[in-house]
């Protein structure tokens, strides 16, 4: 990275992933090999950006506990600036337990403590220097922020300030765990957040119904795009589609042998943001997002690739210029 590169700010969740693999040479717990590492949608995206050479600062909360220290150490080791991370007493760093089958499929996961009781939601407005967001070239926020206060109000305030200060804002919906929250409050917060969002990303099959429950994902995306926001529908093996008010572009997924699906969306986000911070167009961002996600699911759980690996994958799929729509 160079001193004049724009810095990305990422705001949201950090967790510890505990993954049980059926076929790994790891410490055995309950008859399964166990891997412990940093996780969380926002933290994964921050690390993904750092590995592609983007200077990045993370804003979030961890508990004053051993798992919180694991996260802080890992982020620092990856080159993520942790000045925006707060360590809180009285709340626990969440643990996300995954179980991965021999074929790389996810066959179970759970969170402890219960998500809404964890440290994630303890970030307050005063924890972020909202008046000076212009020092960032990008702000990325995750939808989990809107599940509970005070993080909900903090995220909204930061997004609105970023828009006022001409900082591009991306929002990853990432809202699959909705059972224990008041959906009307979440939807209202998301509607407000979208007004400050430049790029809205999410899983086409699972997440856009939160905003428009009676619409298909594409219909929902078009309704959002009418407000001036570019919407990215991540479609797993079918690639991704970018929808704006005047254009729709679909970029196919790249073929890989999957090891684990965990972290694919976070990786896509990192690739997409990296491309746009470099001044590339949305279509190039979707290609880079697809390449980053493909490499991630072909590696150990949520293990983001380097920038060099992504460049090599893009050259392999699209040629040295990376300018064609259909992969070779």
Q: Tell me the catalytic residues.
A: 266
Rounded Cα–Cα distance for residues 11 and 154 (Å): 10
Task: Kindly provide the b/e burial profile for residues 32-62, where b requires at least 16 CB atoms within 10 angstroms of the residue's own CB.
Answer: bbebeebbbbbbbbbbbbbbbbbbbbbbbbb
Asked whether the beta carbons of 81 and 59 are under 8 A apart, the reply is no
Which tokens belong to 231? 């919407």
* CB-based burial label for 115 (10 Å; 0-12, 13-18, 19+): buried
Within 10 Å of residue 278's Cβ, how many Cβ atoms?
Answer: 15
Which tokens belong to 87? 């360590």
Residue 129 is given by DSSP the state: -
* CB-based burial label for 107 (10 Å; 0-12, 13-18, 19+): exposed
Rounded Cα–Cα distance for residues 17 and 36 (Å): 6
Element (H, E) at 221: helix 217-225
Rounded Cα–Cα distance for residues 314 and 301 (Å): 21
């Amino acid at each position: 990275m160079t001193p004049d590169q724009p810095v990305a700010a990422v705001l949201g969740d950090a967790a510890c992933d505990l993954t049980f693999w059926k076929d790994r040479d790891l410490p055995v717990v309950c008859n399964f090999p166990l891997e412990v590492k940093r996780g969380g949608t926002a933290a994964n995206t921050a690390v993904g950006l750092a590995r592609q050479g983007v200077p990045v600062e993370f804003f979030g909360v961890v508990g004053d506990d051993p798992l919180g220290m694991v996260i802080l150490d890992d982020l620092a080791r990856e080159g993520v600036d942790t000045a925006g991370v707060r360590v809180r007493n009285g709340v626990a760093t969440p643990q996300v337990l995954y179980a991965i089958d021999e074929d790389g499929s996810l066959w179970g996961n759970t969170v402890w403590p219960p998500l809404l009781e964890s440290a994630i939601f303890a970030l307050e407005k005063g924890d972020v220097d909202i008046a000076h967001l212009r020092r960032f070239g990008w702000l990325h926020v995750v939808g989990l922020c809107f599940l509970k206060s005070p993080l909900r109000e903090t995220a909204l305030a930061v997004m609105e300030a970023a828009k006022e200060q001409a900082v591009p804002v991306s929002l990853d919906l990432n809202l699959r765990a909705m059972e224990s929250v008041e959906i009307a409050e979440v939807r209202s917060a998301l509607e407000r957040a979208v007004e400050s969002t430049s790029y809205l990303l999410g899983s086409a099959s699972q997440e856009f119904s939160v905003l428009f429950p009676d619409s298909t994902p594409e219909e929902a995306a078009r309704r959002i795009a009418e407000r001036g926001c570019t919407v990215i529908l991540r479609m797993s093996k079918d690639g991704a589609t970018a929808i704006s008010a005047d254009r729709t572009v679909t970029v196919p997924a790249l073929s890989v042998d999957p090891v684990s699906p965990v972290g694919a969306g976070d990786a896509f986000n990192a690739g997409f943001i990296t491309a746009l911070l470099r001044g590339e167009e949305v279509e190039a961002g979707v290609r880079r997002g697809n390449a980053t996600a493909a490499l991630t699911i072909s590696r150990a759980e949520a293990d983001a690739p380097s920038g060099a690996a992504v460049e090599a994958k893009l050259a392999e799929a699209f040629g040295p210029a990376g300018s064609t729509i259909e992969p070779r």
